[in-house]
Amino acid sequence: MNEQIQVMPKHTILIVDDEDSIRDMLSIALDAAGYNVLQALNAQTAHSLVVDRNPDLILLDWMMPGTTGLELLRRLKRDEITEKIPVIMLTAKAQEANKLSGLDAGADDYIAKPFSPRELISRVKAVLRRIDRADSTSPIVVGELVLDPLEHRVSIGGVFINIGPTEYRLLQFFLTHQERVYSRDQILDYVWGATFTLIRELLMCIFEGCVKLFQLQAMTTMCRLCAVLGIDFRCKYN
């Protein structure tokens, strides 16, 4: 009897960049790493490919003629059909404000040009690992707090609350890693990727924003995000 070997399907990556040389370089690197590759030179073509081919991840250039990559990202995140597709922004805009704009719009990672093919592949693998870890359809329930991974929504006492993508990933991390202490670098690795750099003050700003968000909600069960020794964090429920 012949044994059938089950082969895992390749991930499909969509490259969106108006520069032919960049698309060719990314395509060669991704193909060598074992990924299927799609290409688009503008936002319009990219959106059509996203709808028709449903890629597993999008590498999206920020600055493109016509509709920018940031505008396309916001459009994808507004559509329930495409909102869950992970996106890595590619851009020469390396300033912190630009990084925050991309992340706040829903980007899963941010790579500043120029970058090496090895760095790109590492970022792609890191994002896909995070997506695979978070790909559970079972809601996470803590008292009146419910995080729904399938709908990417959070509710307290049956009332849905507004929460950004960064705060969502941070909350999901704490809810799935209860009563453990994690360093700043460990949290950044899970939420933004191992190669993403974020200053401590910015992490604290996002962290404190989450705390204020939940303090404003009427909760029977208190959800406390605790700072331990200033740099380590723990999520504790009473």
Per-residue pLDDT of 11-46, as tens digits, reads 999 999 999 999 999 999 999 999 999 999 999 999
Q: How far is Cα 177 from Cα 181, in angstroms, rounded to an integer?
A: 9
Position 223 pLDDT exceeds 60: no
pLDDT confidence tier of residue 214, bands split at 50, 70 and 90: low
Residue 47's pLDDT is 92
Quote the radius of gyration of the chain (alpha carbons, Å): 19
Q: Does domain 12-133 have CATH number 3.40.50.2300?
A: yes
**pLDDT tens digit string along 91-113?**
887 666 777 777 788 888 888 88
* Contact present, 231 and 153 (Cβ < 8 Å): no
Specify the pTM.
Answer: 0.57
In this predicted structure, what is the pLDDT of residue 161?
A: 80
Using DSSP bridges, classify how beta strands 87-91 and 109-112 pair: parallel, antiparallel or unpaired: parallel
- How many residues can be counted in the chain? 238
Domain locations along the chain? 12-133, 140-237
Q: Name the more confident of 234 and 29.
A: 29
Rounded to an integer, what distance in angstroms lies between the CA atom of residue 179 and that of residue 198? Answer: 24
| pLDDT reported for residue 139 | 83
Q: Output 49 or 211, whichever has higher pLDDT.
A: 49
pLDDT in tens, 63-101: 888 899 999 999 998 887 788 899 999 988 766 677 777
Please state, in angstroms and as integers, the Cα–Cα distance from residue 147 to each residue in 26, 165, 192, 227, following that order.
35, 13, 19, 22
| Amino acid 18: pLDDT | 93
Q: How confident is the model at residue 54 (pLDDT cuts 50, 70, 90)?
A: confident
> Which of the four pLDDT bands, split at 50, 70 and 90, describes residue 226?
very low
Residue-wise burial string across 203-237, b where 16 or more C-beta atoms lie within 10 A, e elsewhere: beebbeebeebbeeeeeeeebebeeeeeeebbbee
List, for residues 168-193, the tens digit of each pLDDT value: 777 777 777 666 666 666 666 556 55
For the domain 140-237, what is the CATH code? 1.10.10.10
Q: Which position has the higher pLDDT, 213 or 115?
A: 115
